[in-house]
């Protein structure tokens, strides 16, 4: 029996592609294992999946700013490398697939030390720090954007396109409205601040709620620990996050406010959902979301509101503009030819594993 080991975590964006691939490997009879952190979001998302064996390792965050944990975390990374090395040595996977995030670095190095081929997936225009550290140990790097190849070794770049989870378009709008106790008399606005939430977006949304609910019914995915139980509007439903219910909510959604993580925005593109993107600023990140948002804005798929300009009034104005112009965005998105990137990625992983048996 062939075995595949997955890794990736720290945020839902570093897990969703793995979630999409895992059922395909299970259906073909592969043994599936996963290396993640002890307390990361990847554990809560992957461990409940039937047929997947989850292994926890130590991990440290590689920060670009001063923090005393920068002194201790490298030791955690080294510990994680050895934990991954011995786990992979015992499991003997045919291939390791990495979606990125800091937990993936020890797993990738551990696989390389065991001569297990590594395939990396990069969602953004430019590789993140964890992937940049991992690329020297990888057999290939699969990309979402075609021009990402320019920042990769030519022999490793493999463009597959945006991976969209299967069944995302199978939701039912009536079930979504029943879940949120909404009617069909007002448009639905979905607000997502990323799997870990976005405090600045949450604050601006809640400050603008009295005006927003005049025009919209709102589903707000606000992140773990960021619910506000003092708000009581029938047109406003808040959740920390969603899993299976998200397809139903997407079916009833008219427009979306979201960060600009590549996995999410390409899924909204596939569903032709007009987007207001509020990318993480350069001060908050390495700037990947700014590049993603710029690409989507220039392509006519989304409007952009920069974090530095985010106020309740600007948010309200931008959402109103997006809704008023939604048909133009829908027409632009409908012209995009959707490729089956998930199948291409699945085949590439299998071919790599087969070639190195």
DSSP string, 289-341: HHHHHHHHHHTTSEEE--GGG--HHHHHHHHHHHHHTHHHHHHHHHTSPPP-H
Q: H/E element holding 244? A: none
Residues 115-164: pLDDT tens digits? 999 999 999 888 888 899 999 999 999 999 888 988 899 999 999 999 98
Q: How far is CA 96 from CA 35, 91, 92, 115, 165, in A?
A: 10, 11, 10, 10, 20
Residues 219-232: pLDDT tens digits? 999 988 889 999 99
Confidence check: pLDDT of 283 > 60: yes
Burial pattern 127-156, b for ≥16 Cβ within 10 A else e, equals bbebbbbbbebbbbbbbbbeebeeebeeeb
Within 10 angstroms of residue 3's Cβ, the number of other Cβ atoms is 19
pLDDT average, residue stretch 188-217: 89
> What is the band of 13 on the pLDDT scale with cuts at 50, 70, 90?
confident
- Fold adopted by 173-334: Rossmann fold (3.40.50)
Residues 61-86: pLDDT tens digits? 654 544 555 545 666 778 999 999 99
pLDDT at 167: 85
pLDDT at 69: 56
pLDDT at 75: 67
Mean pLDDT of the chain: 90
Partnered with residue 55 across adjacent β-strands are 35
- Fold adopted by 3-164+339-355: Rossmann fold (3.40.50)
Q: How far is CA 108 from CA 41, 154, 155, 164, 349, in A?
A: 19, 20, 18, 24, 15
> What is the band of 215 on the pLDDT scale with cuts at 50, 70, 90?
very high
Report the range of poorest mean pLDDT among 176-185, 242-251, 300-309: 242-251
Please tell me the pTM assigned to this model: 0.84
pLDDT at 60: 62
pLDDT at 196: 55
pLDDT at 168: 86
Residues of the chain with CATH 3.40.50.2000: 3-164+339-355, 173-334
Percentage, residues of the chain above pLDDT 70: 92
Helices then strands, each counted (H, E), the chain: 13, 13
């Amino acid at each position: 029996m062939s075995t595949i080991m997955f890794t990736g975590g720290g945020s839902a964006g570093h897990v969703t592609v793995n979630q999409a691939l895992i059922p395909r490997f299970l259906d073909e009879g592969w043994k599936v294992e996963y290396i993640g952190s002890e307390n990361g979001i990847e554990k809560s998302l992957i461990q409940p999946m039937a047929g997947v064996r989850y292994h926890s390792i130590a991990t440290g965050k590689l920060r670009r700013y001063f923090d005393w944990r920068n002194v201790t975390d490298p030791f955690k990374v080294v510990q994680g490398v050895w934990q991954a090395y011995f786990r992979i040595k015992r499991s003997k996977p045919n291939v390791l697939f990495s979606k990125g995030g800091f937990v993936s670095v020890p797993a990738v190095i551990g696989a390389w030390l065991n001569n297990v081929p590594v395939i990396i997936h990069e969602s953004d225009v430019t590789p993140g720090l964890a992937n940049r550290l991992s690329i020297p140990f990888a057999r290939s790097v699969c990309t979402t954007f075609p021009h990402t190849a320019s920042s990769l070794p030519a022999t490793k770049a493999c463009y597959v396109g945006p991976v969209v989870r299967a069944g995302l378009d199978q939701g039912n709008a009536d079930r979504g409205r029943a879940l949120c106790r909404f009617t069909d008399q007002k448009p639905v606005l979905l607000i997502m601040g990323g799997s870990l939430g976005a405090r600045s977006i949450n604050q601006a949304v809640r400050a603008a709620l009295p005006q927003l609910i005049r025009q919209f019914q709102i589903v707000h995915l606000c992140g773990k620990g960021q619910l506000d139980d003092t708000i009581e509007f029938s047109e406003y439903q808040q959740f920390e996050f969603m899993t299976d219910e998200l397809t139903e909510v997407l079916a009833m959604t008219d427009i979306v406010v979201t960060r600009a993580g590549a996995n999410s925005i390409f899924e909204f593109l596939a569903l032709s959902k007009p987007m207001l993107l509020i990318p993480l600023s350069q001060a908050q990140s390495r700037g990947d979301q700014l590049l993603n948002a710029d690409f989507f804005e220039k392509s006519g798929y989304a409007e952009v509101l920069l974090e530095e300009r985010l106020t309740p009034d600007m948010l309200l104005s931008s959402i109103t503009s997006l809704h008023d112009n939604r048909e133009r965005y829908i027409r632009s998105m409908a012209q995009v030819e959707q490729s089956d990137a998930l199948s291409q990625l699945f085949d590439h992983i299998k071919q790599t594993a087969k070639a190195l048996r």
